[in-house]
């Protein structure tokens, strides 16, 4: 439980030249060699999953995730069809694909899986997997880029992905398939004529690579819009892979980076970059973007979300309050709003006292596992394990805001509204999480809680 | 040899929803119907063309996007399965079509002689884009005419709407000249929607027409303005207003197909016939016909 992680992150180019004709240009061969080096590094790691976010697979209906266990076809590039064809036969981790899709929906995103014979896997994903994983030793998953998504949506997409990486205990490689500057020559050129399209593009590319070699991924994420305006052709998909990749790495700025190659491909900036999670020892980030956990954008414009949304947002219950500020108060927008005038926590001496914490989610107030009753008071089926996990995650967020952490919890009082039904599931999640830390615990059966939830915890932790 | 001619030019939008809703046997998915106003519009267009003789359909689709010039399919027989990467649930279409390679090459050569960046696509594994297939199928479901498939060079992406239009105006002139010299009678299709802002959710089922409408009033106003200009024969004004239309309506004519079509018809002052208008997942779509065969010598 909670043992998965990103073992390596990659930025790789999408054009087919390194697959089909590396020998025609020294730079294309350098890219091919760098791809091969990245493949060796992946093989030497204990990676068991490759996650592809490709800018060359645009989507409109939210995000799409490939879920065909073995997509096979022949890929021909729309522009560079004269270079030849790539026969692909990929191995997809369908369990992960479906779980990611479910996690997306749980976090408020529009999302669906695709599994159709003949589906045209995009050139970027084909090129990346052909070179990084030619024998399909490691299963992969591929996600589209929504043409309308902003940073919030892209960040939540990554967090949903990480939910599954952690819950399935994956050792994953995260791959952004993209060019840096993407301005190509608009006329055919001879291979020996290839160069970065303009000096300005080249200077920006080198600045990006300087940041990445220093492990400053989040800085690139925050510069994304500027970079897009400076060196990107206005295609439908912007420079958003850096948002995704940064969020996959907890928006860190202290990764260990290595630029394996930087070369032109038909004028565009092609680079192979490896980012490892080991800290380079420098300071971390100044994170000044909204750090959203759930997507609450205008994605519900058709008033239809399908038959069975994975979570149901409670539209009943008491009014919500902004948490009370004051001396020693600890409050965070990463925890659900209180149902009364109190703070999320108070720090007193060396101890932190948390107000009762339930599973409601910050932002949309939804309840993982579903509410226990509808707005008319009719009982609903719900998942006590999902609710309990959400409680523990909320506790963790509040403690982190206080400068503490989950492993410093020393005493918990739990409240269940249906002891007979829920104790077993609650106890199982407890054993997987707080039970491993070992705080004292008291569990009480109560008649009701203010919102339609089944479990709440009162926590005391060390600061 | 008699001069070739353009018998008609059509704005023929390509949302796969229309093929999905028609349930042809080549398409795997099935539906309960939907988007009838547009499908019946295509019926009216087919009826209008049924007595018009032509040899080949020439189509420019924004879903074969090329950045290194304009490309033409140069493979005579193209047969494969087209799966829409955006709406794979709606469109998985087995196609078997014939390309008029001679005419494709003639347009290519003429455009090249005018200084354009052009390229023939001769890879037999290439899959024809779904925009081309949808437009051709809705106009001529018998698939008994060869086609010329032209890519959408993304001049707008690299430069501006103005530059894109200059390129497409030249491509249109080259197309008309090559057709004239070929002696063939041609039907031209510009495969694009008008306003092009999508909803990002999909109803269940997708053909639930109670949820289908334009995404905003501004998009509606732009669509109606463009249709009215077409119906009034004000082609030059369409070209003049194209930059604002592309920017404000996120118009799919940014791919150049409409400008190419108008140019090939020599910027007609004759009115176009509106056969149908409707929205598809929020985008605005009009089926228009310029019946050039009725115009006589200009």
The CATH number for B261's domain is 3.40.830.10
Task: Note whether B199 contacts A110, CB cutoff 8 Å.
Answer: no
CA of A85: which chain B residue's CA is closest? B125
Mean pLDDT of chain A: 90
- Specify the pLDDT at position A302: 42
Query: Is B83's pLDDT higher than 50?
Result: yes
Which of B16, B73, B158, B201 to mutate to test binding with chain A, by most A CBs within 10 Å of its CB?
Answer: B201
Residue B211: count of CB within 10 angstroms of its CB = 18
**A377 reaches B (C-beta below 8 A):** no
Return d(Cα A143, Cα A158) in angstroms, integer: 10
- CA–CA min distance B98, chain A (Å): 19
Mean pLDDT throughout A366-394?
88
Chain B residues at the A interface, defined by Cβ less than 8 Å, are: 64-69, 71, 80-83, 85-89, 92, 117, 119, 121-123, 125-127, 151, 153-154, 156-158, 198-204, 208, 211, 215, 281
- Specify the pLDDT at position A297: 65
Angle at A442 between CA A436 and CA A445, to 5 degrees: 125
B49 in Cβ contact with B294 (< 8 Å): no
Query: Is A392's pLDDT higher than 90?
Result: yes
Contacts of B174 (CB under 8 A, 6+ apart): B107, B110, B111, B113, B114, B116
Whole-number percent of chain A with pLDDT over 90: 73
Residue B290: count of CB within 10 angstroms of its CB = 24
Return d(Cα A273, Cα A76) in angstroms, integer: 26
- Specify the pLDDT at position A334: 86
- Specify the pLDDT at position B21: 98
Using alpha carbons only, how large is chain B's radius of gyration in Å? Answer: 18
- CA–CA min distance A76, chain B (Å): 5
More confident residue, A283 or B15: B15
Instruction: Examine residue A101 and say whether the peptide bond preceding it is cis (omega within 30 degrees of 0).
Output: no
Mean pLDDT of chain B: 96
B229 is written with which tokens? Answer: 């200009």
- Specify the pLDDT at position A309: 36
3-state secondary structure (DSSP) of residue A31? helix
What domains are defined for chain A? 5-276 (3.40.830.10), 312-462 (3.30.1330.40)
Return d(Cα B13, Cα B136) in angstroms, integer: 10
Mean pLDDT throughout B130-159?
94
Closest CA to A193 of A246, A141, A265, A243: A265
Whole-number percent of chain A with pLDDT over 70: 93
Return d(Cα B108, Cα A349) in angstroms, integer: 80
Q: Where are the alpha helices (DSSP H) in A135-240?
A: 151-167, 199-213, 217-222, 224-231
Query: Is A270's pLDDT higher than 60?
Result: yes
Mean pLDDT throughout B39-49?
98
Q: Where are the alpha helices (DSSP H) in chain B?
A: 17-22, 36-49, 101-113, 130-139, 155-158, 161-182, 217-231, 235-249, 257-264
Return d(Cα A97, Cα A94) in angstroms, integer: 5
A176 is written with which tokens? Answer: 């952004």
In tens, the pLDDT along A66-117 reads 999 999 999 999 999 999 999 999 999 999 999 999 999 988 899 999 999 9
User: Which range (A105-114, A115-124, B39-48) has the least confidence?
Assistant: A105-114
Q: Among all chains, which residue has been given the structure tokens 């207003």?
A: B241
Determine whether A224 is exposed, middle or buried from the number of CB atoms within 10 Å of its CB (0-12, 13-18, 19+): buried
A210 is written with which tokens? Answer: 């300087």
What does residue A150 show for φ and ψ, rounded to 5 degrees?
A: -100, -170
Supply the pTM of this predicted model: 0.80
Q: Among all chains, which residue has been given the structure tokens 């569990």?
A: A443
In tens, the pLDDT along A296-344 reads 765 444 443 433 333 333 444 677 788 888 888 999 888 898 988 899 9
Query: Is B50's pLDDT higher than 60?
Result: yes
- Specify the pLDDT at position B102: 98
Angle at B132 between CA A241 and CA A147, to 5 degrees: 20
In tens, the pLDDT along A198-250 reads 999 999 999 999 999 999 999 999 998 888 888 887 765 567 899 999 999 99
CA of B128: which chain A residue's CA is closest? A78
Contacts of A155 (CB under 8 A, 6+ apart): A243, A244, A247, A289, A291, A292
Closest CA to A293 of A222, A217, A360: A360
- Specify the pLDDT at position A262: 98
Q: How confident is the model at residue A57 (pLDDT cuts 50, 70, 90)?
A: very high
DSSP class per residue in A276-308 = ESS--SS------S---SS--SS--TTS---S-
| Residue B267, domain extent | 5-294
Domain count, chain B: 1
CA of B151: which chain A residue's CA is closest? A78
Chain B residues within 8 A of A119 when measuring between CB atoms: 83, 85, 88
**A304 reaches B (C-beta below 8 A):** yes
Torsion over CA: B5, B285, B41, B241 (sign): negative
- Specify the pLDDT at position A237: 59
Spacing of C-alpha A387 from chain mean position: 21
Q: Where are the alpha helices (DSSP H) in A373-435?
A: 384-401, 419-432
């Amino acid at each position: 439980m909670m043992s998965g992680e990103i073992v390596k992150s990659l930025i790789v180019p999408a054009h087919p030249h390194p697959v089909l004709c590396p020998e025609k240009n020294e730079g294309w061969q350098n890219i091919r060699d760098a791809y091969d080096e990245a493949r060796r590094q992946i093989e030497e790691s204990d990676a068991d999953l490759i996650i592809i976010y490709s800018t060359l697979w645009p989507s409109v209906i939210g995000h799409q995730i490939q879920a065909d266990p073995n997509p096979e076809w022949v890929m021909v590039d729309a522009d560079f069809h004269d270079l030849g064809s790539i026969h692909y036969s990929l191995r997809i981790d369908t369990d992960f694909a479906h779980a990611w899709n479910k996690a997306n929906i749980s976090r408020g995103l529009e999302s669906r899986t695709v599994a159709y014979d003949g589906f045209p896997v995009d050139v970027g994903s084909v090129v990346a997997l052909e070179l990084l994983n030619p024998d399909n030793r490691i299963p992969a998953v591929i996600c589209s880029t929504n043409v309308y998504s902003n940073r919030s949506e892209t960040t939540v997409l990554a967090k949903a992905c990480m939910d599954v990486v952690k819950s399935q205990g994956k050792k994953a490689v995260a791959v952004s398939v993209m060019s840096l500057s993407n301005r190509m020559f608009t006329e055919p050129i001879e291979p020996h004529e290839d160069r970065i399209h303009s000096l300005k593009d080249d200077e920006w590319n080198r600045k990006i690579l300087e940041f990445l070699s220093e492990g400053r991924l989040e800085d690139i994420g925050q510069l994304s819009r500027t970079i897009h305006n400076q060196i990107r052709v206005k295609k439908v998909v912007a420079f958003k892979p850096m948002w995704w990749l940064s969020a996959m790495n907890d928006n860190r700025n202290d990764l260990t980076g290595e630029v394996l190659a930087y070369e032109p491909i038909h004028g565009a900036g092609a680079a192979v970059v490896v980012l490892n999670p080991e800290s380079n020892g420098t300071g971390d980030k100044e994170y000044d973007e909204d750090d959203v956990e759930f997507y609450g954008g205008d994605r519900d414009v058709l008033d239809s979300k399908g038959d069975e949304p994975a979570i149901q947002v409670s539209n009943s219950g008491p009014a919500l309050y902004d948490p009370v500020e004051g001396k020693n108060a600890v409050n965070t927008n990463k925890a659900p709003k209180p149902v009364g005038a109190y703070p999320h926590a108070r720090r007193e001496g060396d101890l932190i006292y948390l107000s009762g914490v339930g599973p409601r989610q910050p932002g949309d107030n939804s309840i993982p596992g579903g509410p226990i009753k509808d707005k008319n008071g009719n009982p609903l089926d719900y998942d006590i394990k999902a609710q309990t996990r959400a409680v523990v995650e909320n506790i963790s967020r509040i403690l982190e805001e206080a400068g503490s952490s989950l492993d410093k919890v020393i005493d918990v009082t739990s409240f269940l509204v249906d002891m007979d039904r829920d104790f077993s599931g609650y106890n199982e999640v407890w054993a997987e999480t707080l039970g491993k830390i070992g705080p004292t615990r008291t569990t009480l059966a109560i008649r009701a809680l203010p919102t339609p939830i089944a479990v709440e915890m009162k926590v005391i932790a060390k600061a | 040899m008699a001069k070739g001619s353009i018998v008609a030019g059509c704005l023929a939008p390509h949302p796969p929803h229309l093929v999905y809703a028609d349930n042809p046997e080549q398409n795997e998915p099935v539906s309960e119907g939907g988007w009838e106003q547009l499908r019946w519009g295509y019926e009216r267009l087919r009826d209008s063309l049924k007595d018009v003789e032509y040899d080949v359909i020439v189509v420019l689709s924004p879903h074969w996007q090329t950045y290194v010039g304009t490309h033409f399919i140069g493979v005579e027989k193209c047969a494969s399965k087209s799966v829409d990467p955006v709406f794979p649930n709606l469109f998985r279409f087995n196609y078997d079509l014939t390309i008029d390679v001679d005419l494709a090459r003639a347009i290519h050569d003429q455009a090249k002689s005018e200084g354009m960046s052009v390229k023939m696509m001769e890879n037999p594994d290439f899959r024809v884009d779904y925009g081309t297939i949808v437009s051709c199928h809705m106009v001529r479901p018998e698939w008994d005419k060869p086609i010329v498939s032209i890519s959408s060079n993304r001049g707008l992406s690299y430069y501006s709407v103005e530059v894109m239009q200059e390129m497409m105006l030249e491509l249109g002139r080259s197309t008309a000249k090559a057709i004239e010299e070929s002696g063939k009678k041609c039907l031209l299709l510009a495969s694009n929607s008008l306003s092009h802002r999508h909803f990002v959710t999909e109803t269940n089922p997708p053909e639930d027409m109670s949820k289908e409408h334009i995404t905003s009033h501004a998009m509606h106003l732009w669509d109606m303005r463009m249709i009215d200009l077409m119906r009034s024969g004000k082609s030059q004004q369409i070209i003049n207003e194209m930059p604002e239309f592309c920017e404000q309506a996120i118009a799919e004519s940014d791919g150049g197909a409409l400008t190419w079509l108008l140019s090939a018809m020599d910027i007609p002052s004759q009115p176009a016939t509106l056969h149908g208008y409707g929205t598809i997942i929020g985008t605005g779509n009009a089926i228009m016909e310029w019946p050039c065969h009725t115009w006589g010598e200009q």
